[in-house]
Amino acid sequence: MLTARGKKTENIAEYILYMWHIEDQIRAFGLDIDKIQAQIIDAYVQPNTVKDAIRSWYESLIDMMKREGVTDSGHIQLNRNVITELTDLHNSLLSAPKDSFYTMTYYKVLPLIVELRAKAGSNATGEIETCLNLMYGLLVLRLLHKDISKETQVAAEQISEFLRMLAVNYKQDKEGGFDV
How far, in Å, CA of 85 to CA of 174, rounded? 11
Task: State whether 168 and 81 are in the same domain.
Answer: yes
19, 37, 67 - which closes a domain:
67
Task: State whether 110 and 135 are in the same domain.
Answer: yes
Residues 93-120 have a mean pLDDT of 89
Task: State whether 18 and 56 are in the same domain.
Answer: yes
Task: State whether 55 and 123 are in the same domain.
Answer: no
Burial zone of 89 (CB within 10 Å; 0-12 exposed, 13-18 middle, 19+ buried): buried
pLDDT score recorded for residue 18: 95
Res. 99: pLDDT tops 70 = no
pLDDT score recorded for residue 158: 96
End-to-end CA distance of the chain: 31
- Nearest by Cα to 17 from 28, 7, 32, 9: 7
How far, in Å, CA of 131 to CA of 125, rounded? 9
For the chain, the domain total comes to 2
Helix runs in the chain, H state only:
2-10, 12-28, 33-39, 48-67, 77-95, 100-120, 127-143, 150-174
Res. 124: pLDDT tops 80 = no
Count CB atoms within 10 A of the CB of residue 35.
13
Q: Look at 44 and 121; give whichever has higher pLDDT.
A: 44
Encode pLDDT of 50-86 as tens digits.
999 999 999 999 999 999 999 999 999 999 999 999 9
Q: What range does the domain containing 38 cover?
A: 2-67
How far, in Å, CA of 43 to CA of 51, rounded? 9
Q: Are 9 and 172 in contact (CB under 8 A)?
A: no
Q: In 3-state terms, what secondary structure has residue 157?
A: helix
Provide the pLDDT confidence category of residue 178 given band limits of 50, 70 and 90: low
Res. 169: pLDDT tops 90 = yes
- Provide the mean pLDDT of the chain: 92
Max distance between CA atoms of the chain, in angstroms, equals 52
72, part of any domain: no
Provide the pLDDT confidence category of residue 177 given band limits of 50, 70 and 90: low
Count CB atoms within 10 A of the CB of residue 42.
11
Res. 27: pLDDT tops 90 = yes
Provide the pLDDT confidence category of residue 179 given band limits of 50, 70 and 90: low
